[in-house]
Chains A and B, each alone.
Chain A
């Protein structure tokens, strides 16, 4: 605590910028969003209250999602058609999650810290076991998908082919998005780690569409929860602004470095860092 107290405020601004910058680089290279790394890392190892860290986490996820969205939408990788209904459900439940998280934290911040640790360890498990399918086979005839015309097309650059896609298991997918929204609001996380498997493996969206639509939909999902944290006073500009700046610059560099690194190695490194941060958060929740 003495080392924390001795650090001047501008030292924290630089530290947050550098940490978020590195998270931005490695997050992109590992294919996960920044919020899921930022909240457990900063929440476990920095002196800030977990409430402010979750508030910052939501804005980081929001900022990086908004920055990536124009290009993803322009190239038809992110689908507005698919994002609109899933983001509506997720954002409704992220409001519930935000209130639930702030309520639990008001009772005892250790509860939310411990639950965050447990969730991060669960995410590590999901990441270690997750599979993906480039273009899954989808049986047409899903009533909800047909009602909203959930599908589209994009050009696969490697083969220069136009890929047409649609989705199935839409009802179950919508239910899972409610749960994802709840967790996003509760813990201040972007939810790419959950969105992508639901969109790709369950609903059958092509992997590129699933990743891009997930990234874009976070800009809508986290909006409602972000307003709640803001209105409750859980957002500190001195924490949020350098973090968003760092992650945006880092993500751009990460995207440029991506073709030159081994993504699997980076992914394993990030999973290891997440595991350590999750464990630390869990132990902090138990007062250890």
Chain B
């Protein structure tokens, strides 16, 4: 046993519950959209055979050859099977953003400014990367 005794953060249990339900919803999204995509019930923008013929190519070449949309353009093809299945994929990194929004609100309410700063900084990083705001490389 250590001499220092710190309490676990009270937000930890709610964070766990948000993740639990979030992951369940994510699995439902994965399964349902993937079935729609691979069975052809919702036709894809890029045929699966076109994907498999080009997936050995370096990324830039693949994007040119298949004329794939980049960034958030996939949202405009939500009615196509392949891009609808991005819903489940995007849901995973969105979950952390939802949890951190909850954390930021509760930290400011409890005047825990150190952790509030960390939550806001993480949300900023997620926004920068999700919003494709850095144009490097």
| A binding-site residues for B, Cβ under 8 Å | 4, 9-10, 12-13, 47-49, 51-52, 59, 62-63, 66-67, 69-71, 73-74, 76, 79-81, 84-85, 87-88, 91-92, 95, 98-100, 102-103, 105-106, 109, 138, 140, 145-153, 163-166, 219-220, 222-228, 230-242, 244-245, 248
Q: Are A66 and B19 touching (Cβ within 8 A)?
A: yes
For the complex of A and B, the 6 pairs showing the least CB-CB separation, nearest first, are A151-B6, A103-B137, A73-B16, A70-B20, A227-B129, A51-B59
Cα A235 to Cα B119 in complex, Å, equals: 27
- Nearest B-chain residue to A54, judged by Cβ: B59
Q: Are A226 and B5 touching (Cβ within 8 A)?
A: no
Q: Are B95 and A66 touching (Cβ within 8 A)?
A: yes
By a CB distance below 8 angstroms, the chain B residues around A225 are 129
Distance (Å) between the CB of B38 and the closest chain A CB? 7
B residues 78-130 near A (Cβ < 8 Å) are 82, 85-86, 88-90, 92-93, 95-97, 103, 114-115, 118-119, 121-122, 125-126, 128-130
Cβ contact of B55, chosen from A49, A146, A248, cutoff 8 A: A49
What secondary structure prevails in chain B residues at the interface with A?
helix
Known: A99-B136, A230-B90, A237-B86. A140 touches B122 (CB 8 A): no
Q: Are B6 and A152 touching (Cβ within 8 A)?
A: yes
Distance (Å) between the CB of B116 and the closest chain A CB? 11
How many residue-residue contacts, CB under 8 A, span A and B? 207
Q: Is there a chain A Cβ closer than 8 Å to B76's Cβ?
A: no
Cα A166 to Cα B5 in complex, Å, equals: 7
By a CB distance below 8 angstroms, the chain B residues around A85 are 118
By a CB distance below 8 angstroms, the chain B residues around A242 are 34
Distance (Å) between the CB of B20 and the closest chain A CB? 4
Q: Are B70 and A233 touching (Cβ within 8 A)?
A: yes
Further pairs besides A88-B121, A100-B137, A149-B6: 16, Cβ < 8 Å: A9-B49, A13-B38, A62-B93, A103-B136, A140-B3, A145-B4, A152-B7, A166-B6, A219-B19, A220-B96, A223-B97, A224-B125, A227-B129, A230-B89, A233-B69, A237-B37
Known: A73-B16, A220-B122. A164 touches B1 (CB 8 A): yes
By a CB distance below 8 angstroms, the chain B residues around A223 are 92-93, 96-97, 126, 129
Cβ contact of A226, chosen from B9, B60, B92, cutoff 8 A: B92
By a CB distance below 8 angstroms, the chain B residues around A98 are 129
By a CB distance below 8 angstroms, the chain B residues around A63 are 26, 92
Q: Are A88 and B122 touching (Cβ within 8 A)?
A: yes
B residues 10-58 near A (Cβ < 8 Å) are 11-13, 15-17, 19-20, 22-23, 26-27, 30-31, 34, 37-38, 48-49, 51-52, 55-58
Q: Are A12 and B34 touching (Cβ within 8 A)?
A: no
Distance (Å) between the CB of A213 and the closest chain B CB? 11
Can you list 16 contacts pairing A with B, beta carbon distance less than 8 Å? A52-B62, A69-B19, A73-B15, A81-B6, A84-B115, A95-B128, A166-B2, A226-B93, A232-B59, A232-B70, A233-B62, A233-B68, A236-B51, A236-B55, A238-B51, A241-B34
By a CB distance below 8 angstroms, the chain A residues around B58 are 49, 51, 105-106, 109
Known: A151-B4, A223-B126. A76 touches B12 (CB 8 A): yes
